[in-house]
Structure 1
């Protein structure tokens, strides 16, 4: 996943931060709008990357069963294709 998801989250935070000036909020909103218009902030792509990270974490969690780890490994392998 690219850093665009992190950038979008930061911009959303800047827009909703009451300590930011209206000018700063508007600049952040404009940039966020540009990202959405260009497809740069694709939420389904961000979701898929987050799911993959979760399964990778599950594979290395010593508290998970071998069956759960194998299930997560299969999902990660399928996502990589």
Structure 2
């Protein structure tokens, strides 16, 4: 794909940038649907615990976010 086929455009969502191709464009409601509010956190765990978390993610084909979200949701349910 040549660089002439891609444009950067402004989305309707608070000035977020999006990539536009020669066909189509930014569409309201397009893309992955939100499951809630996103907040960035920093988590400190031992190397052993990170290893267990990573193994669980690999074994179950889940992202770290999915695993941690599942742990928190099950704790508060």
**Higher RCO (CA-CA < 8 Å; seq separation 6+):** 1
Q: After TM superposition, is the score higher than 0.5?
A: no
TM norm structure 1: 0.21
Would you tell me which structure has more strand in proportion to its own residues?
2
Which structure has the larger Rg over C-alpha atoms? 2
